A and B are shown apart, each in its own frame.
Chain A
Amino acid sequence: MKHQKIAFGVMLALFAAAPLVVYPVFMMKVMCFALFACAFNLLIGFGGLLSFGHAMFLGTAGYISAHAAKMWGFPPELAILAGTFSAFLLGVVTGLLAIRRQGIYFAMITLALAQMIYFFYLQAPFTHGEDGIQSVPRGRLFGFIDLTNIFAMYYTVLVVFFAGFLLIWRTIHSPFGQVLKAIRENEPRAISLGYDTTHYKFQAYVLSATLAGLAGATKAIVFQLASLTDAHWTMSGEVVLMTLLGGLGTIFGPVVGALIIITMENYLAHLGAWVTIVQGVIFVICVLTFRRGVIGEIANFIKKPL
């Protein structure tokens, strides 16, 4: 626990000081994706469920919060809440379906459901198809903080990210999180101890979906854009990659993974399809030789969980 607290302090300090040296918009992107990856990791790293459709939560929350802020004139905090709530609802509905199958089927079902949602957004008029919802107003937070100020926006995102992160951290160390770990390690045994494992997995899935939605909703306000990219299966693959590279089932891994992948994409953006190739290569290397991920390797080296 002590190591984790130190690591947390370092992370908080780095993110709080980052806009002084790094381009704030870039760091906001990192934080949105870090929260997204942490939410995803809650499901796979602690519940053992690989969702290949997490983009549907990111995309849905993005669309709803962008629509709420632009068309309904919601203030940013309510727009983000509306987006997050929509991801929660979608999590409940898809969770009830997906949780009926295990392991590899779970991955295929979530992927297929996300593809269905993607096609829906492709056709639905309110998303404006390929254009997406553009120039979403950032507005004033609680009526008096002007989010068009880059630093106000930055620290708002910082608060959202750390609130989500702490919630996940708390969940992992709670009795609920311990039961999840037990299910991941040995589900029949958890059942024999009297735990309704389906129920626990469902709750973890919905929580993960909601937090992924929080990331998507915040991202839409930050970038003033909700687009199909966020709902596409490549985005679901990307969050898997971030988490895998950072370290499945570690607390800080997804943050590091998001930082590395977003940085890489930033530098390789002009190379087009090469981004996809590099992502694929990282996948292959991680699976074959580097399954613990960056943080997992460090944790293994210092023999403490991170």
Chain B
Amino acid sequence: MTEIFGVPTQALFGQLLIGLINGSFYALLSLGLAVIFGLLNIINFTHGAQYMLGAFCAYLLLNKLGVGYWWSLAAAPLIVGALGMLIERLMLKHLYKLDHLYGLLLTFGLALIIQGVFRNEYGSSGQPYPIPQELAGGHNLGFMFLPNYRAWVIAVSLVVCIATWFVIERTKLGSYLRAATENPALVQAFGINVPRMITLTYGFGVALAAFGGVMAAPIYQVSPQMGADLIIVVFAVVVIGGMGSIMGSILTGFGLGVIEGLTKVFYPEASNTVIFIIMAIVLLIKPAGLFGTQK
């Protein structure tokens, strides 16, 4: 068996793959957080719960209605995104004029409610979700075995992330969005319905989280707690990357996933904490984050 730095290549590439998978979810979630924060000035603590909702949505669609993975991939983000828009209309919109902290507290409360309800219903243990037939199996690449579904998750996440970047940075719609981030009153004066844009943006960010949840369902088990710890890591990712740049969120998400995966190979004891340690180092060297600008 070939080895690199005394580590079997199988293990190395295996963890690298897991790192890329985790990185996909970090990127999807931190991207959604950044988009929401840009326009709403709210850190969406419910993001982890909404990711979990996406996974449960797929699980329930499959087990109650017999709707498969592919339809869920489209339906779950729409359903959870619509729920998100409802939350924005009913609750969040009352907070825009207040201190940012209230947005964090409200969404934290919502996360507790959602996670509590599902824990009541399904307990803390995970529910299995099958890998879709079309993506079962895998390929032997010679140096490692690549399961098809995992390759699919990484590829789709990359595509979705880059598409989001393209829409926000390179299209007219995105330019409205960026303008409204800078100065909502002025954009409103140009005849653009900013409140509706805010609602849709929140819905979009939430839908991204739910989309991540559906893709995660076959890899991790579907459990009420799946988003709770993840969201804290994603917060650290956001602090490291800085929320100023969309591409920055994507790169930081994937990059940290890979670093975490490599840590599992070389120093497994630190694999839980490595992202937080990197956060501390980044704060010392560049407090605004790698891609951020200090306001």
Contact = CB atoms under 8 A, between A and B. Distances in A.
Interface of A: 44, 50, 52, 97-98, 100-101, 103-105, 107-109, 111-113, 115-116, 119-120, 122-123, 233, 237, 240, 244, 272-277, 279-284, 286-288, 291
A97 B109 contact: no
Interface string B111-136: 11111110110000000000000000
A119 B95 CA distance: 34
A100 B287 contact: yes
Given A103-B100, A112-B239, A123-B269, A280 B110 contact: yes
Contacts of A108: 43, 235-236, 238-239
Contact of A283 (B95, B106, B119, B276): B106
A224 B105 CA distance: 32
Given A103-B100, A273-B120, A119 B273 contact: yes
B106 A100 contact: no
Contacts of A281: 109, 113
Contacts of B279: 109, 112-113
Contacts of B272: 119, 122-123
Contact of B232 (A50, A120, A233, A286): A233
23 contacts: A44-B101, A52-B104, A103-B101, A104-B101, A107-B101, A107-B104, A109-B283, A111-B232, A112-B233, A115-B232, A116-B277, A233-B232, A272-B119, A273-B119, A274-B120, A277-B120, A280-B111, A280-B116, A283-B108, A284-B91, A286-B109, A288-B94, A291-B102
A122 B273 CA distance: 11
B280 interface: yes
B284 interface: yes
Given A100-B287, A113-B276, A123-B269, 7 more contacts: A101-B287, A103-B101, A107-B101, A112-B276, A233-B232, A272-B120, A276-B112
A286 B98 CA distance: 14
Contacts of A287: 95, 102, 105-106, 109
A244 B99 CA distance: 14
Given A105-B239, A116-B273, A244 B105 contact: yes
B277 to A, nearest CB: 7
A21 B283 CA distance: 51
A97 B280 CA distance: 7
Contacts of A50: 101, 104
A280 B95 CA distance: 17
A287 B107 CA distance: 10
A146 B277 CA distance: 43
Contacts of B110: 280, 283-284
A52 B232 CA distance: 11
B109 A284 contact: yes
B89 to A, nearest CB: 13
Contacts of B119: 272-273, 276
Contacts of A122: 272
B108 to A, nearest CB: 6
A98 B108 CA distance: 20
Contacts of B283: 97-98, 100-101, 109
A277 B113 contact: yes
B106 A284 contact: yes
Nearest to B237: A112
Contacts of A112: 232-233, 235-236, 239, 276, 279
A288 B98 CA distance: 11
A109 B236 CA distance: 7
Contacts of A115: 229, 232-233, 236, 276
B91 A288 contact: yes
B116 A101 contact: no
A123 B269 CA distance: 8
Contacts of A277: 112-113, 116-117, 120
Nearest to B95: A287
B98 to A, nearest CB: 8
A274 B120 CA distance: 7
Contact of A237 (B101, B108, B114): B108
Contacts of A52: 104
A279 B277 CA distance: 31
Contacts of B238: 108
A283 B111 CA distance: 10
A100 B163 CA distance: 33
Contacts of B95: 287
A108 B98 CA distance: 19
